[in-house]
Chain A
Amino acid sequence: MIIKCPHCGPREASEYTYVGDAKVIRPDHEDNDKDKWNDYVFMRCNPRGKHSEYWQHTSGCRAFLNVIRDTVSHKISNVILAGPWKIEAKK
């Protein structure tokens, strides 16, 4: 599998570390609601098909990428630099 890092270009998946589902939302830091935190830490949609997920380019620029990948075909349809920057990888 090859992931196109917006900084570094296409690199093999082995350069990256899988971080997980990008759709789970961390509750506000000050939020005291256990159920929300439980959902965030333990509950996953785990879709069969398109999955929005984070990868970190650990052996490269260390950026976090939001990767849209199909969990059946492993095809990656989009890679965006995660965080407030939202820079897309060149197609």
Chain B
Amino acid sequence: MNRYSVFSLIKNALSGHKNWKRAWRAPEPKSHYDVIIIGGGGHGLATAYYLAKEHGIRRVAVLEKGGLGSGNIGRNTTIVRSNYMLPANTKFYEHSMKLWEGLSKDLNYNMMFSQRGIINLAHTPSQMDAFSRRGNAMLIEGVDAELLTTKEISRRVPGLYTGKNTRFPIVGGLCQPRAGTARHDAVAWGYARGADNYGVDIIENCEVIGFIKDGDRVTGVKTTRGEISAPKVGISVAGNTSPVMKLAGVNKMPIEAHVLQAFVTEPLKPLINTVVTWGAGHLYISQSDKGGLVFGGDLDGYNSYAQRGNLPIFEHVAAAAVTMFPNLSRLKLLRNWGGIMDMSMDGSPIICKGPLPGLYLNAGWCYGGFKATPAAGWCFAYTIAKDEPHNLNAAFTLDRFYNGRELDEGGAGPYPAHQ
């Protein structure tokens, strides 16, 4: 592996940049591995990395049907935060946050993790009460949080309308200073390079078309590039969870696929220096290091596997953005993309052993997949290696729905379109 640093940049510049090595190899699939991870997105690659690094399991294949990182890892709004209320979520996402804080160094790949803070805006006293409860719960779990007055918010977020002459005036907010954004593609590439360096085979353009089973036990997969066997097969395919589980003979899951759209404006000089979320509508705004304002909105609201969205969300997001920031009105939306969210029935994820012997599942990430990438990979690797969940993902079971132990952070009930 080329070690990356300013010196390696200079050295390569002097040799005309001809001596860089491939960031990851393009190996042919072998017939057998110790672990197969289906899905070469952020979570799958992180899982492979931690299997190798933390558990010494290096005979690992990551199978990706298309190009590495072509799913939600490159189709999100790049926000990283751990401002959750329910203790199981708070602990898990805080573990993720801690991994994020050391990730660029760990992977020798600059994730551009920019801890510029996130501010959730409240519009009514009762919303403020709910934020207080969340902030207090965060602090008690050792997560950073602060309550902000409207005046303080106004100072930190120039351009934000904080006056009263609007439908939903801002009454205050909750801030997590350590939250921020990261360069999403770099996460996939960094983990891929890291895993590859440990000997993990990352196999692109290799679609799983079936499972090899011995009775109920999963012993391998059939792919477009041949059969591959392994005693342990992990599924980490986000929006495609249901179709892949179907291949394994599991026809129903507590998951629906929904499209979430995101938008970016043309590049601008620094304008918004923190992540801002709006309580009155579903909207979050941040500015990328390149200068584009990045917006995320609400789900399109119906089951979909199309990586594209429809016009109503364009209009809703724009209306919310201009209501929040009247100075954005003349700025232009440049691009739009849609990711397929694996919306679970309670809004929280699933990282578990099963549901079949030999099978391991990482799914149900809803909106939260990107920020969870390091911890999801870390916990999934632990679960696969040890055949039992780590404390951090012990609550993220598949049978919690049957047991009435849902983790319904939003209190929305079993309606994925409303999570």
Contact = CB atoms under 8 A, between A and B. Distances in A.
User: Do chains A and B directly touch (beta carbons under 8 Å) in the complex?
Assistant: yes
Interface of A: 1, 12-14, 18, 20-21, 34-35, 38-39, 41-48, 51, 53, 55, 69, 71-74
Interface of B: 240, 242-243, 251-257, 301-306, 310, 312, 345, 401-402, 414-415, 417
Contact of B417 (A12, A18, A41, A43): A18
Contacts, number: 70
Contacts of A42: 254, 345, 401-402, 414
Contact of B306 (A35, A44, A53, A73): A73
> By DSSP majority rule, is chain A's interface helix, strand, loop, or mixed?
mixed
A41 B344 CA distance: 12
B417 A44 contact: no
Given A71-B304, A72-B305, A46 B257 contact: yes
Given A38-B401, A48-B242, A14 B305 contact: no
B270 to A, nearest CB: 35
Nearest to A53: B303
Contacts of A72: 304-306
A5 B243 CA distance: 30
Contacts of B251: 45
Given A51-B303, A71-B257, A71-B305, 4 more contacts: A1-B310, A14-B312, A21-B256, A43-B254
Contacts of B417: 18, 20
A22 to B, nearest CB: 11
B301 A44 contact: no
A42 B293 CA distance: 37
Contacts of B304: 71-72, 74
Given A35-B402, A38-B401, A45-B242, A13 B310 contact: yes
A1 B305 CA distance: 15
Given A14-B312, A39-B252, A71-B257, A46 B402 contact: no
A69 B301 CA distance: 14
Nearest to A14: B312
B306 A46 contact: no
A48 B306 CA distance: 9
19 contacts: A12-B312, A13-B312, A14-B312, A18-B302, A20-B415, A21-B303, A35-B402, A41-B345, A41-B401, A43-B252, A44-B242, A44-B254, A44-B255, A45-B242, A45-B252, A47-B242, A53-B303, A71-B303, A72-B306
